[in-house]
Amino acid sequence: MFRKSRCNQTEDLLSAYVDGRLSIGEQQQVEEHTRVCEACTGELESLRTTVALLRLTPTVQPPRSFVLSERTVSRPVRQSAPVLRWSMGLAVALLLILVSGDVLSSVSLGGVSAPSTRMAQKSAEDRSMAPASELAGEAQSNLRAPSAATDEKNRQYQDPSVAAQRAPLSSTGSEENTGRSEGFPPAGRTDASAQPTADALEGKVRPLPNWDLSALRIAEFGLGALTLALVLMNVLRRRARY
Amino acid sequence: MDEQELVRRSKAGDVQSFNYLVEAYQSHVFNLALRLLGDAEGAADVAQETFVSAFQAIGKFRDGSFKAWVLRIAANSAYDQLRISKRRPSTSLDALTSNPENPVDFADGQETPEDHVLRQELAQAIQLGLSSLPFDQRVVVVLSDVQGYSYEEIAEVTKASLGTVKSRLSRGRSRLRDFLMERRELLPRPYRH
């Protein structure tokens, strides 16, 4: 065991020993060990042979001169990294445009965006506990069709296309999670999102069908995956470069 | 004109001054690329690309050795070349040995036809051995044992510590030794023990 470790230690030093780059202590260690260890002496000799053979390799005259002309210098050099960087930047920009467009459209169409779903739930719960007369009054002042408000809203909440429009970023519809809102909307919603929904019901804004939203999600996920792949390629390329 | 002045003028866009630097270092660059790639044609391409890149990036060169800087660019270009073209030294070496005037041969004056063949086979074995090394070890072995640079110069070229240079050199030489010992019959007589 001891002998083996001494051999390993010596082997690690042999290359620098051949070059005369060991400290005096290390040099003595190698010389003492190789005096008694035949295997390490053989290793040392074969290493010296290898170095000697490599040093036999002649310097080769270049086949031509590499001096530069003005024309050579003005020619663009092959570079793949900038292309990769630009592609990554473009993908990130497209992703941002797509996501912000998605968020903006959901807000402008009166939908409850995913991040605000929880707040909307809370708001709905609060309103359900408010006095009915007060809420009815608010509803009348805010909605253009106050007389049919409750019935219309019931239809609106039961209609999947309208539901999808209300929560375009939620995965399966916020109604399933709230329980309270499914088929029983809070009377007289007074937040800003209620107004465009009423507009949509009046035909001013056409609600997006479900497949449109799915296509948008697919595009976002696809672009996100592409961006991630480009970022990884960029990182790997930087690390791989010698 | 000293090197610093040539570098300063090159930074100002003077191609002629830069060409003095090219003439001074083109043999170093070409030979490094040749041993890293095992392919004379590819090495010439790498050398040309190295100097074009160096001229275009010379504004970024600060202090230190211009030679080390340009050799580092050459090593990076050779690495890119290997990755992009997936060149295999075996095919390149076949082409090299079939050309009697190829400069990669070990030239040595008067020799018998038998010695000539052995010499070519040895050159091929060494180049194959070098090409079998991981790239970081190959660069250090070529710079040290083929081109004769000191540990300090190699550390500057590779931007590695002296300890890393020693370690890469030790592992590279050991691998190469094992490779050559398996082909002992190709070694010159004094080395066949």
pLDDT above 90 covers a percentage of chain B that reads: 67
Section B107-133 average pLDDT: 81
Which residues in chain A have Cβ-Cβ distances shorter than 8 Å to B173? 15, 47, 50-51
d(CA B182, CA A157): 80
Confidence band for B76, pLDDT divided at 50, 70 and 90: very high
Q: How far is B86 from chain A (nearest CA, A)?
A: 15
- Phi, psi (rounded to 5 degrees) for A152: -60, -45
Q: How far is CA A112 from the centre of its chain?
A: 25
Structure tokens at B1: 């004109």
In this prediction the pTM is 0.61
Q: What is the DSSP letter of A64?
A: S
Give me the pLDDT at residue A34, please: 94
Is pLDDT of A124 > 80?
no
Q: Test A77 with B18 for CB contact under 8 angstroms.
A: no
Q: Test A241 with B191 for CB contact under 8 angstroms.
A: no
d(CA B31, CA B24): 13
d(CA B135, CA B78): 10
From the list A54, A66, A240, which residue is nearest B47 (CB)?
A: A66
Q: How far is B57 from chain A (nearest CA, A)?
A: 11
Per residue, the 3-state secondary structure of chain B, as one string, reads CCHHHHHHHHHCCCHHHHHHHHHHHHHHHHHHHHHHHCCHHHHHHHHHHHHHHHHHHHHHCCCCCHHHHHHHHHHHHHHHHHHHHCCCHHHHHHHHHHCCCCCCCCCCCCCCHHHHHHHHHHHHHHHHHHHCCCHHHHHHHHHHHHCCCCHHHHHHHHCCCHHHHHHHHHHHHHHHHHHHHCCHHHCCHHHCC
CA angle A162-A172-A104, nearest 5°?
A: 60
Confidence band for B130, pLDDT divided at 50, 70 and 90: very high
The answer to whether A231 touches A85, Cβ cutoff 8 Å, is no
From the list B19, B40, B174, which residue is nearest A63 (CB)?
A: B40
pLDDT above 90 covers a percentage of chain A that reads: 23
What's the full length of chain A, in residues? 242
Is pLDDT of B129 > 60?
yes
Higher pLDDT residue, A94 or A175? A94
Cβ neighbours for B137, distance < 8 A, ≥ 6 positions apart: B168, B169, B171, B172, B175
- Annotate A55-92 with b (16+ C-beta within 10 A) or e (fewer): ebbeebebeeebbbeeeeeeeeeeeeeeebeeebeebb
Is pLDDT of A116 > 80?
no
Q: Would you tell me how many other CB atoms lie within 10 Å of the CB of residue B23?
A: 12
Structure tokens at A72: 């050579």
Give me the pLDDT at residue A234, please: 77
Which residues in chain A have Cβ-Cβ distances shorter than 8 Å to B51? 66-68
ipTM value greater than 0.85: no
Q: How far is A239 from chain B (nearest CA, A)?
A: 12
pLDDT digits 0-9 by tens, A25-70:
999 999 999 999 999 999 999 999 999 999 988 889 999 999 998 8
Higher pLDDT residue, B110 or B71? B71
String of DSSP letters for A162-211: HHHHHSTTSSS-HHHHHSSSTT-PPTT--STTHHHHHHHHTTSSPPPPHH
Mean pLDDT over each residue of chain B, to the nearest integer: 86
d(CA A134, CA B1): 93
d(CA A196, CA A162): 11
Q: Test A73 with B55 for CB contact under 8 angstroms.
A: yes
pLDDT above 70 covers a percentage of chain B that reads: 84
Give me the pLDDT at residue A71, please: 79
Give me the pLDDT at residue B57, please: 94
Higher pLDDT residue, A29 or A158? A29
Place of tokens 């409750």: A150
Section A211-231 average pLDDT: 81
d(CA A135, CA A137): 5
- Phi, psi (rounded to 5 degrees) for B91: -70, -40
- Phi, psi (rounded to 5 degrees) for A194: -70, -35
Which residues in chain B have Cβ-Cβ distances shorter than 8 Å to A66? 22, 26, 29-30, 44, 47-48, 50-51
Q: Test A54 with B146 for CB contact under 8 angstroms.
A: yes
Structure tokens at A49: 């042979």
d(CA A154, CA B148): 87
Which residues in chain B have Cβ-Cβ distances shorter than 8 Å to A12? 170
Section A78-89 average pLDDT: 71
